[in-house]
Structure 1
């Protein structure tokens, strides 16, 4: 039964990790290499992720650079970033593509807060679904006489504690992201 509890914890942690990954892609006016992850470059007749075409780095708080490995691909990378719908305006600088990150206005910050809240709610729902699966498993184990009523109570309390802890982690991550979004 301890193995099943560990599996429940692992699945809940997966929801937290997915949330952090979603948050990394939210633009906060501060440069982050993960901002360019969704960009794909039309190169050599196929669509390639930008991280397979060059090295993305963050030289300053409001600037991204992509050091393109193939000199002939620089303009394709610049065009892909421009057309990705991220609201970025890249500039070619030799074999590098410099991407300044513009300031966010108040309206856009509020929109990003709502998106962050939506991501957090999806993570909470995922954690609650894992909890429900765990509770169903415990009921079935008790019904099949694999565990006693006392063990069922003990394990369900443990599952509830895991749920509470992971929901609290999600709420903390959301609060931190909202603060980061509203920071000017």
Structure 2
């Protein structure tokens, strides 16, 4: 077979696994009533002309079960970090003491738990879209290979394998979402 006719299923699977890994990271950032340094992973701050993760602007600690602290290295960034946390949708009100930002983690009420399950569903939908985009890329490769002379049996086989991979990954996203929603709703 020539290179034009070869579809790299391993690459497609690796890219779909990347979407799953990103989903796991996003789910890790959703708080479930206890403090975790991972809660700040999705928070990006406009620092020095580019979007920067909070953990690259200061030291993140969890000194007690309901408190996360960030010791910001550059005093000029304290206000920007505080604003980014406030606008992140985490539902946490930061308190500043010099260069230290304290994030008291409130007990989750029923309404907040429902909001968090909706956020988890949005993260899962983003992962599904990423997986479908990889599927579309794979199907486009099959179409190009068809134009280059790939036999119809091979086209069907590759299309079926790409669809089966997509279905398996979407199912994994759904299972991860269900588990995260149960964890969030657990009191």
Whether the TM-score (by the shorter chain) exceeds 0.5 is yes
**Partner residue of 2:182 out of 171, 179, 183:** 179
Equivalence for 1:81:
82
Once residues 171 and 139 of structure 1 are traced to their aligned partners in structure 2, the CA distance between those partners, rounded to angstroms, is: 29
Is the Cα contact below 8 Å between 1:82 and 1:88 reproduced in 2?
no
Provide TM-score, normalisation by structure 2. Answer: 0.74
1:15 alignment partner, SS class: helix
| CA drift at 1:110 | 0.8
1:16-53, Cα deviation, whole Å (9 max, x unpaired):
2222233233333222213234264989xxx9754244
Does the aligned pair in 2 maintain the 1:123–1:170 contact within 8 Å?
Answer: yes
SS class of match (1:28)? coil
Partner of 1:170: 173
Higher alpha-carbon deviation: 79-88 or 155-164: 79-88
User: What is the alpha-carbon distance in structure 2 between the residues aligned to residue 163 and residue 68 of structure 1?
Assistant: 42
Does the 8 A contact of 1:42 with 1:48 survive in 2? yes
CA distance in 1, matches of 2:158, 2:46: 50
Tell me, in whole angstroms, the C-alpha distance in 2 between the residues paired with 1:126 and 1:3. 19
How many Å separate the matches in 2 of 1:89 and 1:134? 45
Shift of 1:113: 0.9
Deviation at 1:178, TM superposition (A): 0.6
Instruction: Please say if residues 135 and 166 of structure 2, whose CA atoms lie closer than 8 Å, have aligned partners that are also in contact.
Output: yes
Superimposed CA distance per residue, residues 40-82 of structure 1 (whole angstroms, 9 cap, x where no aligned partner): 4989xxx975424432123444322334568xx4x97489437
Q: Given the two structures, how large is their TM-score scaled by the length of structure 1?
A: 0.75
Q: Where does structure 2 lack aligned partners over 5 or more consecutive residues? A: none
The separation in 2 between residues aligned to 1:100 and 1:172, in whole angstroms, is: 31
Q: Give ranges in structure 1 of 5+ residues lacking alignment.
A: none
